[in-house]
Amino acid sequence: MSRELTSCLFCGQFVLQIPGWTSSIPSYRLMRAAWEPQHRFVEGSLHFSCLRRSDVRHEFRSEFHSIATGHGREITFESAGQEHTLEQPGLGYTKSLFTGTQCEIYRSEVTDSWLVLEQAGPWFLLDANQLKEIGEGRPARSGGDVERIALPKDPGPELASASLSELLEYLRLDAVHKGLEDEAEAEYEFWDYYAPKRILEYSLETSLPLPREAVEFLKDYLHRYEPINFDEL
């Protein structure tokens, strides 16, 4: 990933991907910056705390909402003096289940997967296992796979033994992720580091910081939802 794609769309700082605290918008989503005069396409990473604080969070959320809860929206744009029309691939969370003051919850109608979309912008995707964790009164855990990312600068030999807080402090992300230590119950593991290219391999599993009202709704919902019957699709 280029430096631009690993920088936060809002604050410009490096984004270490942390499930529930960060995300990315890949170019194939064809998301547009409706809050900018040129409506350019948005591509890159973001800290959720920066999105929550941003003046354009509602416009950002509105664009993301259209993509997440739809599929195949046609968008037109101008490039080199010509008008083009493209079909925007949506995430297909089409069935609305809950609207609250902090978030909305949607369900995919083709897989057992749910979207929790905060009113302030950030979002969380849940699978059936995570739904079960919530139903049993446990936090929904996410991540745990090995990730590879190019760090913005070489942290030196201490990296191998650094804790997650030390890593975040070193990357100057401790303020951006304030509260993560208390809420995330993070399990961070250092795997490898390739100094010439500053490639860090790590795994990180966290508890998703879901809004309280989402947890309450999903706890009850778990007992009445019907899994997707693939034979009937």
Residues that bind Zn ion (CB under 5 A): 8, 10-11, 47, 50
CA angle 121-126-128, nearest 5°?
Answer: 160
115 near 93, Cβ under 8 Å? Answer: yes
Compute the residue count for the chain.
233
Q: How far is the CB of 10 from Zn ion (least distance, A)?
A: 5
C-alpha pair distances (Å), 81 with each of 40, 84, 125, 179, 192? 15, 10, 38, 48, 48
Tell me which H or E stretch contains 167. Answer: helix 164-170
Q: Which lies closer to Zn ion via its Cβ, residue 15 or residue 204?
A: 15
Nearest approach in angstroms of CB 17 to Zn ion is 13
Looking up tokens 């691939």 gives 89
Minimum CB separation from Zn ion for residue 150, in Å? 18
> Cα(204)–Cα(141) distance, rounded to whole angstroms?
10
- Residue number with CB closer to Zn ion (32 or 47): 47
Nearer to Zn ion, 47 or 107 (CB): 47
Residue 79 Cβ vs Zn ion, minimum distance, rounded to whole Å:
29
Residue 117 or 176: the one with the smaller Cβ distance to Zn ion is: 176
